[in-house]
């Protein structure tokens, strides 16, 4: 990924696939440039490349609008990425309400429609020439992007609008995601059928048929991912962290590993946490690292050698559940997390393997 700047304090990245689409746009536009201004030679491809840059600048505005509204609602924007099929804004967590989901989603298509409308109006003030050609292309493409993204099917923005509407009507975000996800799957299948029929009956350009098939694959994958993620969050909401947490034993960091394991077995503890003299936890012992340590070495190495320091994200409140739990596990992947009770004391340890086993 190539980083080209920041928006809303978050990195703007360009995927290598963008250079492929920029070259394709340059190639496809070259004949039209020749019609408008013959005799440019190789420079006609530069004009096509300039249009590709202008088009993706407009797509960046589309994504930036998502980011700015999400940030206004208090979300952290992890990145904005430009790629082969457009762009994507990565937000740190799911929307907290149907209203927030609606506004974060709908502002992108609105931005594209505004840019397209402005370009359309600008055409009337420009003389014939290459600039008019570029502005004409921007008007058509942005209006197309805006209208397409309002189609109510995930992973398009319109799918998130549909999700917010179903969410508001049913009170369940999961239902909204599943309905909008299935709409995306239906749309993907319809696009495949239409692309193949157009190729067979109308003999459309194979390049455009390929683009539509790729877009259909993108829709199917995105819709399926949204459905699976929604169902995962629903299952996560049924997990009781308090009952799933393992009983833990607190030991000093310099205690020999063999002695720590012996004490844990004696106390019937399923996990070990290293603590300071005042009882504050500082690390959680990695179960896999303990199993990998030979028995004859355990009496001679301190327990700290197989301990992961409690960095931010490795302690969780025992009351956490549902989407918050899934977001926490995804944000800081680890084998174990220390659970803290309502007073900040150690309640136990949550093992990722236990969560996965329960979900399965």
Does the pLDDT at position 260 exceed 80? Answer: yes
- State in Å, rounded, how far the first CA of the chain is from the last one: 34
Q: Which residues, 6+ apart, have CB-to-CB distance to 75 below 8 Å?
A: 91, 92, 93, 95
Which residue from 340, 120, 174, 356 is spatially nearest to 250, judged by alpha carbons? 340
Strand 77-83 relative to strand 10-14: parallel, antiparallel, unpaired?
A: parallel
Confidence category of residue 238, pLDDT binned at 50, 70, 90: confident
Q: What percent of the chain has pLDDT over 90?
A: 39
Which residue from 97, 156, 147 is spatially nearest to 117, judged by alpha carbons? 147
Does the pLDDT at position 282 exceed 80? Answer: yes
- Residue 346 pairs in a beta bridge with 340
pTM of the entire predicted model: 0.77
pLDDT in tens, 290-342: 889 998 899 999 999 999 888 888 899 988 887 788 888 888 888 889 898 88
**Burial bucket for residue 52 (CB in 10 Å: 0-12, 13-18, 19+):** buried
The whole-number average pLDDT for the span 229-249 is 85
> Cα dist. 333→211, 304, 351 in Å?
36, 20, 11
The whole-number average pLDDT for the span 274-287 is 86
Confidence category of residue 7, pLDDT binned at 50, 70, 90: confident
CB atoms inside a 10 Å sphere around CB 322: 15
Does the pLDDT at position 354 exceed 80? Answer: yes
pLDDT value at position 335?
85
The whole-number average pLDDT for the span 212-224 is 92
pLDDT in tens, 189-210: 999 999 888 888 877 778 778 8
pLDDT value at position 324?
81
pLDDT value at position 57?
92
The whole-number average pLDDT for the span 52-77 is 92
User: CA angle 352-355-360, nearest 5°?
Assistant: 125
Q: From CA 357, how far away is CA 360, in angstroms rounded?
A: 5
Q: What DSSP state is assigned to residue 241?
A: H
**What's the alpha-carbon Rg for the chain, to the nearest Å?**
27
pLDDT value at position 239?
82
The whole-number average pLDDT for the span 258-270 is 89
pLDDT value at position 270?
85
CB atoms inside a 10 Å sphere around CB 221: 13
The whole-number average pLDDT for the span 204-224 is 86
pLDDT in tens, 100-153: 999 999 999 999 999 999 999 998 888 888 888 889 989 999 999 999 999 999
- Residue 83 pairs in a beta bridge with 86
Confidence category of residue 221, pLDDT binned at 50, 70, 90: very high
Mean pLDDT score across all residues of the chain: 88
The answer to whether 195 and 216 are in contact (CB under 8 A) is: yes
How is the beta sheet containing 271-275 ordered, strand by strand? 248-251, 271-275, 281-285, 307-309
pLDDT in tens, 78-89: 899 988 778 889
Q: How long a stretch of residues is the chain?
A: 360
Output 141 or 33, whichever has higher pLDDT: 141
Burial profile 301-314: b = 16 or more Cβ within 10 angstroms, e = fewer: ebbbebbeebeeeb
Highest mean pLDDT, choosing among 1-5, 195-199, 251-255: 251-255
pLDDT in tens, 157-184: 999 999 999 999 999 999 999 999 999 9
């Amino acid at each position: 990924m190539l980083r080209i700047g920041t928006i809303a304090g978050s990195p703007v990245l360009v995927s290598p696939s963008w250079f492929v689409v920029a070259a394709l746009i340059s190639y496809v536009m070259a004949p039209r440039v020749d019609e408008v201004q013959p005799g440019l030679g190789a420079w006609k491809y530069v004009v096509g490349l300039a249009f590709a840059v202008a088009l993706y600048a407009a797509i960046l505005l589309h994504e930036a609008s998502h980011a700015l509204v999400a940030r206004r609602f208090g979300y952290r924007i992890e990145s904005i990425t430009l790629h082969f099929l457009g762009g994507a804004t990565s937000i740190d967590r799911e929307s907290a309400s149907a209203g927030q989901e609606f506004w974060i989603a709908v502002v992108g298509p609105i931005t594209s429609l505004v840019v397209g409308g402005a370009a359309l109006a600008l055409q009337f003030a420009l003389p014939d020439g290459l600039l008019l050609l570029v502005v004409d292309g921007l008007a058509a493409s942005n209006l197309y992007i805006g209208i397409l993204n309002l189609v109510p099917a995930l992973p398009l923005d319109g799918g998130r609008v549909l999700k917010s509407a179903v969410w508001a009507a049913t009170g369940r975000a999961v239902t909204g995601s599943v309905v909008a996800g299935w709409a995306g799957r239906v749309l993907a299948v319809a696009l495949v059928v239409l692309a193949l029929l157009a190729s067979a009956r109308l003999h459309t350009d194979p390049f455009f048929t390929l683009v539509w098939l790729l877009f259909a694959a993108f829709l199917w994958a995105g819709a399926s991912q949204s459905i699976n993620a929604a169902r995962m969050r629903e299952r996560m909401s049924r997990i009781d962290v308090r009952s799933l947490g393992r009983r833990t034993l607190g030991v000093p960091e310099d205690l020999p590993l063999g002695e720590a394991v012996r004490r844990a077995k004696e106390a019937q503890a399923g996990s070990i946490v290293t603590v300071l003299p005042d009882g504050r936890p500082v690390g959680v012992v990695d179960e896999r690292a303990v199993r990998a340590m030979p028995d004859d070495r355990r009496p001679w190495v301190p327990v700290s050698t197989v301990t992961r320091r409690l960095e931010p994200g490795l302690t969780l409140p025992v009351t956490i559940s549902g989407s918050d739990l899934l977001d926490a596990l995804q944000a800081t992947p680890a084998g174990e997390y220390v659970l803290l009770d309502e007073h900040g004391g150690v309640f136990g340890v949550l093992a990722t393997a236990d969560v996965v086993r329960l979900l399965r």
